[in-house]
Structure 1
Amino acid sequence: MTVVAARLRGARTALTRVSLTPMLVRVGIFLSVLAGLVLAYPAEVLLGRSFGGLLLVAVLPALSPRRVWPTFAALVTVGGWLVATDGYGRPIALWRLLAVAAVLYLTHTLCALAAVLPYDAVVDPELIVRWLLRAAAVLLATSVLGVLLVELAAVGDGRGIQAATVVGLALAAVVTAFLGWLLRRK
């Protein structure tokens, strides 16, 4: 019983020391996961009894961003996308696909930020703003490139798909080489 009492005292102490900024980041995680689930799943699933389970999926990464829960939430979101397109026959819309991808990236980057912020951290708001601006720049660049590649795939008699694949693979190789260079730069 003393172990349980000690853990409860530790949890109470931690709750009294929580600062606003780390909590707002965790609220952002919850909202971004929930937005991804709402975008991915069909309305029939969201209005059913499984919505409570989806809320739990959104809460878990916010509570524990260092564990497996952000990955779990991303997989549940992707599963919802597959259920909506294959099981419910929802047509694939580019805006919805880009929105789900953007929300997944936002969840990922907010979880990375929350993982390094202690609950009681005093954080300069400029740090959060810079973090979110960097995420917005990545999302904008990715969305523009994604739309261009989709348009390139629509060119010609199906040969555009092959060209888009080659461009995508070349871009992936360039990004990988750049990241490797950044790691060796230290």
Structure 2
Amino acid sequence: MIDAVTERVRAVRTAAGRISLIPLLVRVGVFLTALAGFVLAFPAEVLSGQRLGSLVLVAVLPAVGPRRVWPTFTALVTVGGWLISVDGYGRPITLWRLLAVAGVLYLTHTLCALAALLPYDAVVEPELITRWLVRAAGVLLATAVLGVLLVEVPDLGGGAGYQLATVAGLLVAVGVAGLLGWLQRRR
């Protein structure tokens, strides 16, 4: 029993000594974006004391285990915080906060995907990370522009902007899923 524990400690030390900078920075990015999502989603009254410590722990989980269930769990906690904030504390829904929470959720998701691909000891060119983040920034910019157009422009004419944005988002999601299914069957 003691030999097994000693061997495990030795393996952890060896792995910790082999960690390279870029995969570590990607995992720090996962942690920071998850934590930023919590700060944006949860009301200020909740972000104090022991609850804040629990949220920090939840933000660490996807950084440590990006291939497991933790990224999904973190996203659900963020969405739950948003719902608590809006329904429980009466925080008004503002477009900038909605776009910020959605953007941070996407960044957390895409950084978890990158972290899942990178072993701790991988030697990675910084150009790879730059291209990954530029692509993510392009997706965020296009989404923000489309979101503003779908929500704010129809809202000027009668208040159906949120419904139109919801229906349009659902149609895009179904279209993308159908396209991916069709492409998969073509293979």
Matched, 1:126 2:127: yes
- What's the CA shift for 1:161? 5.8
CA distance in 2, matches of 1:161, 1:91: 14
Tell me which residue corresponds to 1:147: 148
After TM superposition, give the deviation of residue 7 of structure 1 in Å: 1.2
1:167 deviates by: 3.5
Query: Which shifted more, 155-164 or 114-123?
Result: 155-164
The secondary structure found in structure 1 opposite 2:120 is coil
* Cα offsets for 1:107-147 (capped at 9, x unmatched): 00000000010000000111100100111111111111111
Deviation at 1:180, TM superposition (A): 3.4
Please report the TM-score for the alignment, with normalisation by the length of structure 1.
0.91
Aligned position for 1:82: 83
Whether the 8 Å CA contact 2:151–2:164 is kept in 1: the answer is no
* Residue of structure 2 equivalent to 1:172: 173
User: Is the counterpart of residue 99 in structure 1 residue 100 in structure 2?
Assistant: yes
Deviation at 1:35, TM superposition (A): 0.4
Task: Give secondary structure in 2 for the equivalent of 1:50.
Answer: helix
Residues 43-82 of structure 1 deviation map (CA, whole Å, 9 limit, x = unaligned): 1111243110011011111111111111111111111111
TM superposition shift of 1:160: 5.6
Deviating 4+ runs (over 2 angstroms): 155-186
Conserved 8 A contact 2:147-2:165: no
CA contact (8 A) 1:84 1:90 kept: yes
Give, in angstroms, the shift of residue 95 of structure 1: 0.4
2:152 is aligned with what amino acid?
Answer: E
Structure 1, gaps ≥5 residues long: none
Superposed CA RMSD? 1.9
Shift of 1:184: 4.8
Q: Count residues in correspondence.
A: 186
Seen in structure 2, the aligned counterparts of structure 1 residues 170 and 68 have a Cα distance that, compared at 3 Å, is closer
| CA distance, structure 1, for counterparts of residue 42 and residue 164 of structure 2 | 31
Q: CA deviation at 1:5?
A: 1.5
Q: CA deviation at 1:6?
A: 1.4
The change in CA–CA distance for 1:121 and 1:175 in structure 2 (over 3 A counts) is: same
Task: Identify if the C-alpha distance between structure 1 residues 149 and 54 changes in structure 2 by more than 3 Å, giving closer, same or farther.
Answer: same
Q: Distance in 2 between matches of 1:163 and 1:89?
A: 23
Cα pair 2:150 2:161 within 8 Å, conserved: no
Which stretch shows the higher mean deviation, 60-69 or 172-181?
172-181
Match of 1:33 in 2: 34
Letter paired with 1:93: T
Query: Mean alpha-carbon deviation: is it higher for 172-181 or for 33-42?
Result: 172-181
CA distance in 1 between counterparts of 2:165 and 2:111 reads 30
Q: Which runs of 5+ in 2 are unaligned?
A: none
In the superposition, relative to structure 1, how do residues 182 and 45 fare at CA in structure 2: closer, same or farther (>3 Å)? same
1:10 equivalent in alignment to 2:11: yes
